[in-house]
A = this chain, B = another copy of it.
Amino acid sequence: MLDVAALAGVGLKTVSRVVNAESGVSPTLEAKVRRAIEQLNYRRDANASMLRRLGGRTQTIGLVLEDVSNPFSSALHRAIEDSARARHVLVFAGSCDEDPHRERELIGSFRDRRVDGIIVVPASRDHTFLYQEQRAGTALVFVDRPAAHLDADGVASDNVGGSVAAVEHLLAHGHRRIAFLGDLPSIWTADERLRGYTQAIERAGIEPDGALIRTGLRDSETAGRAVHELLALPDPPTALFTSQNLLTIGGIRALRSAGLQRRIALIGFDDIGLGDIVEPAISVVAQDPQAIGRAAAEFLFRRMDGDTSESVHHVVPVRLIARGSGEIKPTERSS
């Protein structure tokens, strides 16, 4: 900047004014400065600029995802990026793999860089450590799961409603013995989806059967094993509700290997890529990660703009997509 000022033969402040498009610079000088900037390939240092500016915004936000490479996270990321770009805000993204320690570490790094706001898909069960942060003026939005012990905006899918819809869809096709496959109940979304399942079952006047409820499934392999065990029951289920991505895939593989993919109904929570190419095509309750990301970014920017109203919990609707696997009718009990 000194070099630019020297080359243009003006003061530092004049260069600053040109760079910031402030009024009150004569066209002659402005042209000179612009030429010098061009010639020296000068770019203002945004960090230094923000340092000096009053209440300096870094025009930067942090994003804590479960894993930047999983489809749900990355769709979120993209939606948030698009909103941020419109405001000339850059996004730091990081994966925490459901590890609370890593979550804190990431948020710490963001804080060191003085991000203006943070969007978190929370991994830990206690976010009081963010209280200081929040009071210091960092905007905060929680996605997919609510904040624990902290008052902050949240955006999540309609987990209960979606599960109810899925189960009611199976009930409507005549199923009575519907199995539930879920992740660890300590994960909020997994628990919500189980709630929805139970609600729908009970509302239909069916006595819930504990043998049909399998939780704590962490990947497609364990889900597959669980399906095989369910099928071996004396009174096996006629339909499966796989309440998460990987479990759906495990379920499909298991049914396929048992040759039952056309006899046992299946609905998954969360869409899977290519769900329409498989035979039979997979019916799912699809989340809308774009809408979730958009909403999260919107809340974040609203807070960054100084909104101090009460915190909001926004629920994004889900959509049941019937593609075939969920519309299979129950068959006579085998042997």
Contact = CB atoms under 8 A, between A and B. Distances in A.
Count of this chain's copies in the oligomeric assembly: 2
A332 to B, nearest CB: 25
Q: Which of A74, A108, A272 lies at the interface centre, i.e. has the most chain B CB atoms within 10 A of its CB?
A: A74
A90 interface: yes
A5 interface: no
Q: Which of A43, A60, A81, A274 lies at the interface centre, i.e. has the most chain B CB atoms within 10 A of its CB?
A: A274
A35 interface: no
Contacts of A91: 92-94
Interface residues of A, number: 48
Interface string A126-137: 000000100000
A46 B274 contact: no
Interface string A242-254: 0000000100110
Contact of A114 (B47, B92, B278): B47
Interface string A81-113: 100010010111111000000000000111111
Interface in A242-294: 249, 252-253, 256, 272-274, 277-279
Nearest to A63: B93
A68 B58 contact: no
A241 to B, nearest CB: 19
A312 interface: no
Contacts of A256: 277
Given A51-B47, A113-B47, A113-B90, A252 B277 contact: yes
B58 A69 contact: no
Given A43-B108, A43-B111, A114-B47, A95 B69 contact: no
Contacts of A78: 67-69, 95
Contacts of A48: 47, 51
A44 interface: yes
A74 B69 contact: yes
Contacts of A94: 81, 85, 90-91
A148 interface: no
Contacts of A273: 71, 272-274
Contact of A112 (B44, B77, B111, B252): B44
A68 B43 contact: no
A67 B58 CA distance: 24
A325 to B, nearest CB: 12
A45 interface: yes
A77 B71 contact: no
A172 interface: no
B43 A47 contact: no
A91 B94 CA distance: 8
A75 interface: yes
A41 interface: yes
The 6 closest A-B pairs by CB, nearest first: A69-B78, A47-B47, A46-B112, A69-B74, A74-B74, A273-B273
